């Protein structure tokens, strides 16, 4: 099948009809995805309008920019103010720290540069051997292997500020009583295709069996998502608490062993806070001591005292699937892409930015 096949209107209508038929005798069903690209597909193609009233898809903590904490932004700002060149992806520039953003200090003349990949950051370090270059490394399992590879082979004036996070521990947090379960129950997960390419199917399986939650790994075309919803409804109905790989054209059961090996070689898992969440056990990646010379936190003394600033932003509830962007009182009033109040309105993967862009939320 080519891309057009996954956007076929007739097939989408058939899938929608089946979903409507299947859900007729079901109660309310809440399906969560944990990927900004899934949210983009769902909003862009109006997938929610094809679902019956009793089936909803909510957005989880799947936007890496959105879950990067105020403290991590403050750490990058601290380093730039010490005269270090800080590189990052464009989406991170406007994310608020406790006292401004990287964009603000760039405007003040500090050396903050936007790069398209970590390779650009390494090239910058190679071309400027007398300067220290720190890359603000964000993202999930998808981007962490690039950072691992950079850490293993980079000039001595390059280091990474690792803000990488892992998706399955966040899903487990949401399933725990301490998480979303008590306030907004989730009946099934659409698992992120990109992350699954790296980690494969196995890391989700224990979640399914321990929490009795069905999961479907999905691609990013409209029919991928619709068939994912259909499969989840069938599984919920059959009490089938397993993981179905509906994206076998890209995702293999064992994922990418080479990428997993390099991740394990360079990083160890640690407990970290996610923006809007408390500490999530074993959900962060810290650079191992063997590579301390490329770990910005070990190479430099970083001293920041970060407070969560109270702005009225509801990103925390959006990242837990408790509210939709339009339910935040600041949406499109005080908070816009030009003047974002919270990170969900900054990143192209943020639910608020996506809702603003496509102007259809539910």
Q: Which is nearer to ligand SF4, 281 or 329 (CB)?
A: 329
Q: How far is CA 108 from CA 41, 74, 188, in A?
A: 37, 16, 47
Q: Does 341 bind ligand SF4 (CB under 6 A)?
A: yes
**Shortest reach from residue 328's CB to ligand SF4, in Å:** 3
Q: Which is nearer to ligand SF4, 66 or 262 (CB)?
A: 66
The interface region with ligand SF4, picked from 104-112, 116-124, 249-257, 337-345 by CB under 6 A, is 337-345
β-bridge partners, 163: 138
One of 75, 221, 342, 354 touching ligand SF4 (CB under 6 A): 342
Q: Does 203 bind ligand SF4 (CB under 6 A)?
A: no
Compute CA 122 distance to the chain's CA centroid, rounded to the nearest angstrom: 24
Q: Does 67 bind ligand SF4 (CB under 6 A)?
A: no
Q: Does 328 bind ligand SF4 (CB under 6 A)?
A: yes
Q: Which is nearer to ligand SF4, 96 or 139 (CB)?
A: 96
Largest CA distance in the chain: 68
One of 273, 325, 347, 354 touching ligand SF4 (CB under 6 A): 325
Any idea what DSSP says for residue 143?
T
CA distance 134 to 307: 23
**Shortest reach from residue 39's CB to ligand SF4, in Å:** 13
CA distance 179 to 173: 6
Residue nearest to ligand SF4 (CB): 342
Q: Which is nearer to ligand SF4, 284 or 342 (CB)?
A: 342
DSSP H helices in the chain: 9-22, 36-44, 64-67, 70-81, 102-107, 118-127, 144-152, 167-175, 193-199, 202-211, 222-237, 257-266, 296-299, 315-319, 351-358
Binding site for ligand SF4 (CB under 6 A): 313-315, 318, 325, 328, 330-331, 335, 340-342, 344-345, 352
């Amino acid at each position: 099948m080519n891309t057009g096949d996954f956007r076929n209107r007739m097939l989408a209508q058939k899938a929608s009809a089946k979903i409507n038929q299947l859900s007729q005798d079901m109660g309310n069903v809440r399906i969560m995805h944990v990927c900004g690209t899934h949210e983009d597909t769902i909003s862009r193609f109006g997938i929610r309008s094809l679902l019956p009233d009793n089936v909803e898809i909510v957005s989880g903590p799947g936007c890496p920019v959105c879950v990067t904490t105020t403290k991590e932004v403050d750490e990058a700002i601290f380093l730039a103010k010490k005269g270090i060149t800080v590189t990052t992806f464009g989406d991170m520039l406007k994310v608020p720290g406790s006292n401004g953003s990287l964009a603000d200090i760039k405007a003040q003349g500090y050396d903050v540069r936007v790069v398209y990949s970590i390779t650009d950051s390494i090239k910058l370090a190679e071309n400027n051997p007398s300067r220290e270059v720190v890359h603000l490394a964000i993202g999930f399992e998808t981007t962490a292997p690039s950072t691992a590879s950079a850490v293993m082979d980079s000039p001595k004036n390059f280091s990474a500020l690792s803000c990488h996070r892992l998706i399955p521990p966040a899903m487990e947090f949401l399933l725990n009583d301490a998480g979303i379960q008590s306030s907004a129950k989730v009946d099934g997960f659409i698992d992120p295709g990109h992350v699954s390419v790296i980690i494969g199917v196995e890391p989700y399986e224990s979640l399914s069996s321990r929490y009795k939650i069905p999961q479907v790994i999905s691609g990013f075309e409209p029919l991928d998502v619709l068939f994912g919803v259909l499969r989840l409804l069938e599984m919920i109905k059959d009490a089938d608490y397993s993981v179905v790989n509906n994206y076998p054209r890209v995702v293999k059961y064992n994922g990418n062993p080479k990428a997993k090996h390099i991740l394990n070689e360079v990083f160890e898992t640690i407990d970290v806070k996610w923006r809007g969440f408390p500490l999530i056990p074993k959900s962060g990646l810290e650079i191992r001591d063997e590579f301390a010379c490329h770990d910005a936190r070990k190479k430099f003394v970083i001293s920041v005292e970060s407070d969560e600033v109270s702005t009225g932003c509801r990103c925390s509830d959006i990242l837990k699937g408790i509210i939709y962007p339009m339910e935040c009182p600041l949406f499109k009033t005080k908070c816009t892409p030009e003047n974002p109040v919270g990170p969900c309105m900054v990143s192209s993967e943020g639910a608020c930015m996506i809702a603003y862009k496509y102007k259809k939320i539910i």
